[in-house]
Structure 1
């Protein structure tokens, strides 16, 4: 089947849905939203902490938020991107509220603001401890009620379509590569259909699933980054993988790991060893509210020094009723595994959480491939630099959705469908034996990345990861050419591509910087504490 749309949106988190709503408001053409599972299973849904925005002008201002972002990012952020996000954040918060998203407020009607690690002021808007779920709920209702948006749930984008599919040789030096849409797997027919589009938006979320332990859902396999890389687009800063310091340690539930929001440390939670001894004073004067990379490395080091599999977060000194009020879902979750957080420590450990790099884009969200935009976690705007400041990701997604919508709407009439795109070459069948091979390879990717490309790295570990991934790549590409496309094998291909990119770009960075910490090179000046 061949479908034609003005706008093809691949991904359905806060980035994709807010973009869809913005273009639908201004353009009466056809809009398609591709979602690999259902709308409520995006990375956005799992974000607990909140959205960073300067709203209390009595104590806060844009310059403070900009400086906090630059410090967290180790000063390798794109200053223009930081300015764009911070200064446009309040306007986009208003847009979210208009779409039906509820943020907690005080009795006087003002926002109830939290403070998180790396922030100098209270500026985190939230909805209890499930802000992402509330944003996703509000946007889902708005998108589902919009008749101009076709929603394709449980559809999987296999590849984006470029000149390569027209029989033209495309390399990374080819000028003016263009995107004409995507090949998309239909779960009902098990056929790969052709979706042609004037403008394509990539907003596929993160890639935490390439690690054994992650706060991301299992669908976070780096699909967007991998598809764009294979299409010869620019992918940048993939070495900067953020490990959230505090995921709930629960050996019976490792994927995804349950996130213990940073707001709990902003609330007054203290990191301790299981014996009750605090330890962050050894690593940073900001203690438990230091930026995530510092806290994650400190926890990792303490676990290795003491031979333990977790540390603890202590909120037992806080008022029990206040704790239950602010963190109702965390309280219920911990209680479900026998932990009363008002009386007992919460066992926590770091888990892969967020990708600061991705598909390189400009201030309009444009990638290096013409007619292809990328926003949200799969993109690299330059906002985060070497390390993301807490709660900057959701606001980045809506600000860049706005920028990309305005730019693409201004240029949509310049594009057409005057290309002949061949249908997907559908050959081969998938046997049960080959299913086993795919499952095993997915496990191997997780082991390789966690053991060799984790919080602390070395040249030797990275070289070993490179060699192991290379073998998996050759095996998987050989299998992919012989079988029908399926979600399982496509996700495996993407995970291997993303693992390769993280490893290669980590090898190329010959310094300790931000989230890239290696024992073979000295700390950069900004990292020294």
Structure 2
């Protein structure tokens, strides 16, 4: 049993921003499920949205966010977070992040789908890696931040008083095969997304809805879980991972074409390739279904080769690794699960409905994204809310005594054991069909019944080292899937990322 002032679960941009922004006198535990740099933030290509140009304005950024969010954004939250853009970038620069700059050494701004202006600050086409490399280097210099790698969160610890919220977190040390209890008045869930609920995803392997599962079992309120964003352009080659092909290619003029060369986006939306992601993803899915295709092509070959090499070096190299030369060839792409716009319901400082529990980044839902996330708003949200939470925690006087229980194994029911790997694959196929780009009420109902059956059958293994990770991940995935299906059933009308083909 270890005592800390703050426990942060997740080593991506949101969690690390909190750790770096807290006062040095606080003792902080930062838990990474795998090694420190394995997180979705490290994979982000596009960048961070902020109003920096004289041609731009906060009102335009707010409006673009509102339009992309299909009217379900929280207006006050949008205005608050968008206004934090310049300060968030200043903070990142002060941490040593090397963003791309123009000939005058000003931050270079690019444009992405859904944005009316150039406002995306980036580091080539590997912005997330540049950001996280700099922040992780800063983190290792903070003696008050104790980094626990290969630490798998299990569940929150309840305070002795039933109404007092949480008192810490239980975790499984994957290196030493033992359970550990992190006692703390403040637990921050910044565990990333839930992309591996689906068979194709741009997310790293650790994105198994852990924060949603853990928070839901503690009774935290959820919001907008029906809105799952599928990135429209992920690499679609047999044997290759669903590598994300940045929105910035379309921002810099790339066209979407059928394999025969026909451009199709103008027929789907007046904004063509610069339409928001939900529209582009559904347009691609429509073209694939209509014409019997397993992919379409993203074509930027009309741009100068030197421009492509300078602006998209990582994408160029990754595609070359799989035999595709972006300078001469169209890139085979198809939609893949990418981002959850919903999550644990929080305010703009990350507070959940459970005292002492906070959520940030993709794990949380502040109301910024509404029914569809505007490109590059997510990294902005991570920094803005992470810094705000650190400021809040620095002033908080909440205290706890030892938690009511620190033994997850003893508390677990003994239930029938199931093949976790087989059920995981079946769950992914089920979610593709029932809660993917298109949804139908009867299909969602059948999915809900099957998920509940799996939940009833799942049990923890007898020994801590015996397949515990895959079962804990599956438990979180099933809990999150049940919540997503329920939310999708409740919203009968189509809106943003949620399309009910039987709805109103």
TM score, norm. by length of structure 2: 0.96
Q: Is the 8 A contact 1:17 1:140 kept in 2?
A: yes
CA deviation profile, 1:404-432 (whole Å, cap 9, x unmatched): 11111111xx2223245333154699xxx
* Alignment equivalent of 2:187, drawn from 200, 211, 220: 200
Structure 2: 5+ residue stretches without partners:
none
User: 2-side partners of 1:337 and 1:190: how far apart?
Assistant: 38
2:225 aligned with 1:238, yes or no? yes
1:89 positional shift = 1.2
Q: What residue is the counterpart of 1:493 in the other structure? A: 475
Distance 1:311 1:387, change over 3 A: same
Distance in 1 (alpha carbons) for counterparts of 2:405 and 2:264: 60
Measured in 1, the distance between the counterparts of 2:446 and 2:41 equals 33
1:54 aligns with 2:45: no
Secondary structure of 1:198's aligned partner:
coil
| Equivalent residue number for residue 4 of structure 1 | 3
| Residue 298 (structure 2) pairs with residue 313 (structure 1) | yes
Shift of 1:80: 1.2
How far apart are 1:401 and its partner, in Å? Answer: 0.5
Q: Distance in 2 between matches of 1:48 and 1:493?
A: 30
- Helix, strand or coil at the partner of 1:111: coil
Match of 1:388 in 2: 373
Equivalent residue of 1:41, what SS? Answer: coil
Measured in 2, the distance between the counterparts of 1:420 and 1:68 equals: 45
Aligned pairs (5 A) from 1:295-306? 295-306=280-291
Pair 1:438–1:236, CA change in 2 (3 A)? same
Distance 2:105 2:63 in 1: 28
Alignment of 1:461-500 (within 5 A): 461-476=443-458, 479-480=459-460, 484=464, 486-500=468-482
Where does residue 449 of structure 1 map in the other structure?
431
How many residues align? The count is: 499
Using the TM superposition, give the Cα deviation of residue 464 of structure 1 relative to its aligned residue in structure 2, in angstroms.
2.1
1:252 to 233, 239, 245: 239
Runs of 5+ consecutive residues of structure 1 not aligned to the other structure: 169-175, 523-529
CA offset digits 1:163-206 (Å, max 9, x no partner)? 4xx495xxxxxxx4511110011123312111100211111111
Change (3 A) 1:22 1:299: same
1:319-368 residue CA offsets vs partner (Å, 9 max, x unmatched): 01111111011111111111111111110000000000000001221000
Rounded Cα–Cα distance in structure 2 between residues aligned with 1:426 and 1:283:
53
In structure 2, what is the equivalent of residue 276 of structure 1? Answer: 261
One of 337, 344, 352 as aligned partner of 1:359: 344
SS across alignment from 1:28: coil
Residues 40 and 481 (structure 1), Cα distance of their counterparts in 2 relative to 1, 3 Å cut: closer
Could you tell me how far apart the structure 2 residues matched to 1:371 and 1:359 are?
14
Give the Cα–Cα distance (whole angstroms) in 2 for the partners of residues 438 and 496 of structure 1. 11
2:50, 2:200 → 1: CA distance? Answer: 30
Matched residue, 2:81: 85
Name the SS for the 1:359 alignment partner: strand
Alpha-carbon distance in structure 2 between the residues aligned to 1:140 and 1:220: 19
Paired residue for 2:37, among 24, 36, 40?
Answer: 40
